[in-house]
Structure 1
């Protein structure tokens, strides 16, 4: 039975990916900050799918946390599938954003993802098989996001890193896939402070289960990228059209806060 390590697995896309992997018989190693949510998810997955589920409480936005996690996991589990899902956003003018929050976002979205990939890969390459799924975003295809400039940049990194690494690993039996969802039903925009922007108020949202199914299919087929849903594909495509200054202008409008409508 293959074992999948999933970060950010207590809710949203991460939990949906855990369900999808469990439904296909994978043993699971779930990682998140909230132990109570992790334990509840583990019990539900074990009861529903009959797979083995282990949980590790870790805040991957802390320096060195990825290395500590792998030291704990690697001695107990032979990981065949790595799902780098954990990530966070931050909304607001860059010059007003707290430096510590910016650092934690970059550590989680970029450093932890890169470090875990580096630590897991030697075992996969040695066995000549394995799968890695990096959860990027359609914003990785955009030239930038005024109002979420650092977040957009971290997702562009994830997409670029995945594409380069996938080519590097060609012929090893190990594949790397970038899952690039659009606006998804979750608490992400609330935590990021972007819930009242036009982007999250008016753009149709995709359900996490749909994103997870598309991600799992692409992962198992060894595809390079997957963008679930027509609207997400349109956003990704438009972000790469010249002149890219137009996309910057559109993003600036989408990431503005609209007036909050009174409750009916």
Structure 2
């Protein structure tokens, strides 16, 4: 098979689906994984018809520790290996003490452990082939302290940023590009899943929102260019720059005030 293959997690909607379409538009075959097989099948058919590439559907729940190995075994059974990896699956598990530990543990498995395992499993071949693209979808929240109710989410995204930067430094000489994508407010199902859509929409000005296609395009351009960190959108870039310059206590106060606005709505 001459075409390279991109594996996208959390591909059933939003940023993940947008990444799948972008890689396909650049000539990659795509492997799609998420929990909802019906949505994956529809997306796979649309991509095949639009771009004429091969699409593989591998339904899996990354909260299961066995899932990363099963996904890669499924690709191997089709005679394929990963040339580009987009670790996009993620969600907010809610307040740290307001939900059962099992829910927090599942979130860590999805957003941290599975990311590391998939990356660890595919990276050696990328280094050997002297070509690889890895995008870890982090968040602007990873550059800030976590607001109340988002403790674990912000912490995992902060990890993804540093993890990506370190991998970038380790592997750039081998033709492997690693980027952390840090979107802000994005039109997707993220806030619907957490039940915060109405509150977040009411508290956030429209000019801060971006579309999933726009965000994914920034991520694709960054990893192709070999940039370790990508923050899409001028407002988000300004926030990221301000956070670097502000004293830590100011940042904590700002996050606390914003979190209070969300809770009052």
With normalisation by structure 1, the TM-score equals 0.93
Q: Is the partner of 2:222 in helix, strand or coil?
A: helix
Tell me the alpha carbon deviations over residues 50-76 of structure 1, each in whole angstroms, 9 at most, x when there is no partner: 111011000011122112222222342
Within the candidate set 239, 253, 259, 1:255 is matched to 259
C-alpha distance in 2 between matches for 1:62 and 1:252: 34
Matches for 1:139-150 after TM superposition, within 5 Å? 139-150=141-152
The Cα of 1:253 is off from its aligned counterpart by 2.5
The answer for the alignment partner of 1:89 in structure 2 is: 92
The Cα of 1:146 is off from its aligned counterpart by 2.5
The answer for the alignment partner of 1:106 in structure 2 is: 108
8 Å Cα contact 2:7/2:85 also seen in 1: yes
Q: Number of matched residues?
A: 259
Within the candidate set 222, 230, 235, 1:231 is matched to 235
Greater alpha carbon shift after TM alignment, 18-27 vs 232-241 = 232-241
8 Å Cα contact 1:198/1:253 also seen in 2: no
With normalisation by structure 2, the TM-score equals 0.92
Distance 1:245 1:195, change over 3 A: farther
Which of the two has greater helix per residue? 2
Distance 1:52 1:134, change over 3 A: same
Greater alpha carbon shift after TM alignment, 145-154 vs 229-238 = 229-238
Tell me the alpha carbon deviations over residues 206-241 of structure 1, each in whole angstroms, 9 at most, x when there is no partner: 000101111111111111111110121122223323
C-alpha distance in 2 between matches for 1:233 and 1:194: 24
The answer for the alignment partner of 1:63 in structure 2 is: 65
8 Å Cα contact 2:148/2:259 also seen in 1: yes
Within the candidate set 130, 136, 139, 2:138 is matched to 136
8 Å Cα contact 1:60/1:112 also seen in 2: yes
Unaligned runs of 5+ in 1: none
The Cα of 1:198 is off from its aligned counterpart by 4.9
The answer for the alignment partner of 2:250 in structure 1 is: 246
The answer for the alignment partner of 2:225 in structure 1 is: 221
Unaligned runs of 5+ in 2: none
**1:118 matches 2:120:** yes
The answer for the alignment partner of 1:72 in structure 2 is: 74
CA-based RMSD of the aligned residues comes to 1.6
C-alpha distance in 2 between matches for 1:239 and 1:206: 20
Greater alpha carbon shift after TM alignment, 230-239 vs 19-28 = 230-239
The Cα of 1:259 is off from its aligned counterpart by 5.1
8 Å Cα contact 1:30/1:56 also seen in 2: yes
